[in-house]
Amino acid sequence: MTASTVSSEVVLRAEDLVKHYPIRAGVFRRTVGWVKALDGVSFELHKGETLGIVGESGCGKSTLGRTLMRLEEPTSGKLTFGDVDVFSQRGAQMRRLRRDIQIVFQDPYTSLNPRKTVGDIVGEPLEIHPDVVPRSGRRRRVQELLELVGLNPEHISRYPHQFSGGQRQRIGIARGLALNPRVIICDEPVSALDVSVQAQVVNLLEELQRELGLAYIFIAHDLSVVRHISDRVGVMYLGQLVEIGDEDQIYNRPTHPYTQALLSAVPVPDPTLRNARDHIVLTGDVPSPANPPKGCRFHTRCWKAQDNCVTEMPGLDLRPDGVSEHASRCHYAEPREVV
Amino acid sequence: MASTTKLVDKTSSWQPTDGLLLEVDDLQVEFRTRDGVAKAINGVSFELREGETLSILGESGSGKSVSAQAIMGILDSPPGFITGGQVRYCGTDILTLPEEQRRRIRGPEISMVFQDALSALNPVFPVGWQIAEMFRKHRGTNRTDAMAQAVRLMERVQIPGAKQRVRAYPHQFSGGMRQRIMIAMAIALDPAVLIADEPTTALDVTVQAQIMSLLKELQTERRMGLILITHDLGVVADVADRIAVMYAGRIVEQADVFDLYAQPGHPYTEGLLESIPRLDQKGQRLAAIGGLPPNLMHIPSGCPFHPRCRYAEDVCRADPPPPLREVGVHRLAACHVSERLLAKEGTPAQAGPAPATGAGDGGGGDAGAHHGDHGDERGGDGDMDGDMGGDGDVEGGSGR
C-alpha cells in the first residue's frame, strides 16, 4: 500500500548487531554466562518504509528496538543513520541524533507519567531540545501535535488517566512525533488495545507515515497486524533474523521452517477454513538464549533437520522462493504455502 | 482415567436433562463504587449443552469476565453485586444456594481456567501439591494417592517429565506449561462445565495453538460444555460452535459460528470483523469502529451501541434498548436493523464490506455526527467514513 512512498534511500542500516547480557551469580556476582539476546542482526530500513519485526517472546525483538534507540549499548555491531555512525556518537552529537529516531512503547498505561499533563508529556522533548521550537511557540506546537494524532487540542491540560487506552497511545505517538523524527520504532504499539481501537491506531500510524514520510520499525507479535502495516517483514528466532523479505514473500512464500510454523499457528477469523489450513505443530519450547543450540538455532524443533543443521549455522542468504528469491537462514529452504 | 475418577465421587446428584447443563437467565450485575454504580451486566441470558463450545466474545469492559465470575460464584462482593436473574445448573438456581453447597459445585461440576496462570497459581507451593489439593479437599483422598493423581493429570496435559516436575514451583515453568497446569487443576474433578477466560491471551501463537488443541481434545474426551471467553476473533473461528457477542454488559448477538462469520446480524459484530487485519489477506485500510465503548456508569439510552453505529436511526436512540430477539434460524440479535444486515447475503464482512450505508438512509452521516459527540477519538471517525466504501478489494498482497 505504501509502496509508492518507499524510496531507495536507506535511512537506517544495522550491521551485525550483537547484544549479550551477562548472567551473574554467587556472592561476587561473577559473570557465569551470557544471554545472547541479539546475535548478529543486519538489515536496512528505507525512507518511508515500514519494516515489521515478528517473533515470539524472548526472541530479541524488543532488545533490537531498544538497541536501535541506543537505550541499550550494543556488545558489538554497527548502526548507521544516513551516513552517521550512531554508536560512536557522544554527548551533544548523540542528543542531536536522537531527534531523528524516536520510539513508541507498548503499554500506554505505564509509559506516560501519571503526574504530568498531556501538554507536559508531549512537550517534554521540546524542552530537552529547545532549539527545535522557540519557547513561545511550544504550546501551539503541542496542540498541533495533538490535533495531528486525532486528539482534542483543548485537552492539553488533562492527565493521562482521563484518557482511554487508545487515546493514551495517541499521546505516546504525539510525543514521538514532537521532534520531527525520520524513523519511529514502534514496540508493540497496539498490543494492549482492544480490536476496535487497535484499528484506529494502526490507521493513524499509516496516515502519519504518508503525510510525514516516516520510516517505521514495527515490532509486534501479531502477525496479522504486521502483515497489514508492513512493506517488508523480518522474522526473529533466538536473537537472529531467520528470514526477511517483502510482506508478500514472507506471507505467501515463506521458506524458513520456523516462519512456516509460526504462520500456520495463527488462527484466521473464518470458520470455513478450520480444517483447510495446514497446521504445523512445533514441539517443545524455545531453547534458552543463554545456551542456544549449535548450528542452526532452530534445529532442535525442526522437522527437516539434517546432520549439517546441527553443526553448521546457515547464513541469512538469498534463496529461491518459487517466484523470486529472498533471504532465509535455512540450508533446506523451500517455499510452502501455510496461510 | 476419566472413568476411574468418575467412579469415586460421581454418584453426582447433578444430571442434565436433554444435555442442557447451564442456563443463564437475565443475569444482572453491578459494581457499587464511590464514583457511582457501574452496570457491568444488564440482562444476559444463554444456554450451554453437553459437549458444546460457546464462545463469549467481547472487548474489555463488555462484561464477559464478570459473567464468568458470577456463574462461578467468585465475584468480588463488594463492590460487585448480582442484582437479578438466575444461573441454573441442571435446572437448579445456584445463585441462591448456600456457600457450603456452592463449594461442592465449584470444581467438581463447574470449573474455570484463568488468563494469567502466574498469578492464579500459588507461588509458594509446588504445582503438584496444588493439583493434589483438589482431590484432598473435595474427595478426602490421602496425600500419596492425591499426588499420584496429580502426576497422572500432568501427564494428561502433556507436561514432559511430569514425575520429576510435580515438585517444581510455578515460576520454574514456562507460560505455556503453567497454563497446562491450570488446565490440569480445572479438569481434576471431571467437571461438566469448563469456563476458560482468555486462556491463551498471554501466550505466543505457537503455544496458543498447542493449548487450544489440548482444550479441544479434553472437551471431546469428557463431553464437557466449554465456555470460551475471548476477544480474539481468530481463536473463536477455530473452535467455537456458537458465539455470543457482548457489548456494554449485554449480549448483542448470538449465532452459530459459521452463520455469524458469513453474515453478522449486529452492526457491532460487523464492525469487529471489518476492523481486524487478516493474516491471509493484505487489506487496504482497516475499517475502524469510531468512538469508544461506553462508560458503564453512563450507558447511552436506547441501544448502547448507537453512538458508534453507522446504521443508527431515531428508534435506536430511544429507550427501551432493542431486545435480543430471533432474527433468523438459530440466531438472535439485539438490533432494530438486523434484518437489513442479514439481507446483505453472500457478502461476508471479511471479504470486503459492501458500503452498507448505500441503503440510502444516511446512516453514514449519522455515524459521523455521533462521533462528534465523543470528540476524543476523532482520528477514528475520519477513518470510518472513508473506509466504508474503500475497503472493497482486499487481495492487495498479490498485487505487490
With CA atoms as reference, the chain B residue closest to A164 would be: B292
Say whether residue B70 is in contact with chain A using an 8 A CB cutoff: no
Q: CA–CA distance from A213 to each of A41, A177, A266, B255, B332 (Å)?
A: 25, 12, 31, 44, 47
Beta-strand pair B110-113/B193-197:
parallel
- Boundaries of every domain in chain B: 2-240, 281-399
Say whether the peptide bond before residue A160 is cis (omega within 30 degrees of 0): no
Which residue in the set A163, A224, A261 is minimally distant from B278, CB to CB? A224
pLDDT tens by residue, chain B, 400 residues: 444 444 344 556 788 888 899 999 999 999 998 988 999 999 999 999 999 999 999 988 899 999 999 999 998 888 999 999 999 999 899 999 999 899 899 989 999 999 888 888 999 999 999 999 999 999 999 999 999 999 999 999 988 888 989 999 999 988 888 999 999 999 999 999 999 999 988 888 888 888 898 999 999 998 999 999 999 999 999 999 999 999 999 999 999 999 999 999 999 999 999 988 888 877 778 888 888 888 888 899 999 999 999 999 999 998 889 999 999 888 999 999 998 888 876 544 444 333 333 333 333 333 333 333 333 443 333 333 333 333 333 333 333 3
**Within a 13 Å sphere around the CA of A78, how many CA atoms are in the beta-carbon half?**
7
A133 secondary structure, DSSP code: S
Query: What grid cell was written down for B51?
Result: 459437549
Q: Which residues of B touch A272 (CB under 8 A)?
A: 258, 261
Where residue A155 falls (left for φ over 0; alpha for ψ -120 to 50; beta otherwise) is alpha
Q: Which residues of B touch A223 (CB under 8 A)?
A: 205, 279
- Tell me the residue length of chain A: 339
CB contact under 8 A, B400 and A246: yes
For cell 493484505, name the residue: B282
Q: What is the strand order of the sheet B53-57 is part of? A: B110-113, B193-197, B225-230, B53-57, B242-247, B250-256, B331-333, B325-328
Taking the C-alpha atoms of residue B334 and residue B32, their distance in angstroms, rounded to an integer, is 26
Min Cα–Cα distance to chain B from A79, Å: 29
Q: Is B130 helix (H, G, I), strand (E, B) or coil?
A: helix
Min Cα–Cα distance to chain A from B21, Å: 25
Q: In one letter, which amino acid is B31?
A: F
Taking the C-alpha atoms of residue A248 and residue A233, their distance in angstroms, rounded to an integer, is 9
Q: CB–CB of A14/A77 below 8 Å? A: yes
Q: CB–CB of A87/A70 below 8 Å? A: yes
B344 by Cβ neighbours in 10 Å (0-12 / 13-18 / 19+) ranks as middle
CB contact under 8 A, B379 and A204: yes
CB contact under 8 A, A272 and B261: yes
pLDDT tens digits along A267-321: 889 999 888 888 888 877 788 888 999 999 999 999 999 999 999 999 999 999 9
State the CB neighbour count (10 A cutoff) for residue B374.
16
Q: CB–CB of A216/A205 below 8 Å? A: yes
B2-240, superfamily in CATH? P-loop containing nucleotide triphosphate hydrolases (3.40.50.300)
State the CB neighbour count (10 A cutoff) for residue B261.
24
Q: What is the ipTM of this complex?
A: 0.82
Q: CB–CB of A310/A294 below 8 Å? A: yes
- State pTM to two decimals: 0.83
What is the H or E stretch that residue A140 is in? helix A138-148
pLDDT tens by residue, chain A, 339 residues: 444 557 788 999 999 999 999 999 888 889 888 999 999 999 999 999 999 999 988 899 989 999 999 999 999 999 999 889 999 999 889 999 999 999 998 888 888 999 999 999 999 999 999 988 999 999 999 999 999 998 999 999 999 998 888 889 999 999 999 999 999 999 999 888 888 888 888 999 999 999 999 999 999 999 999 999 999 999 999 999 999 999 999 999 999 999 999 999 998 899 998 888 888 888 777 888 889 999 999 999 999 999 999 999 999 999 999 999 999 999 999 999 888
Taking the C-alpha atoms of residue A268 and residue B374, their distance in angstroms, rounded to an integer, is 32
With CA atoms as reference, the chain B residue closest to A266 would be: B205
The packing angle between helices A195-212 and B267-275, to 10°, is 50
Of A280, A234, A287, A291, nearest in space to A257 by CA: A280
Q: CB–CB of B203/B179 below 8 Å? A: yes
CB contact under 8 A, A267 and B231: no
Q: CA–CA distance from B335 to each of B149, B183, B264, B303, B309 (Å)?
A: 50, 37, 11, 8, 11
List, in order of start, the domains of chain A with CATH numbers. Answer: 10-43+55-84+222-328 (3.40.50.300)
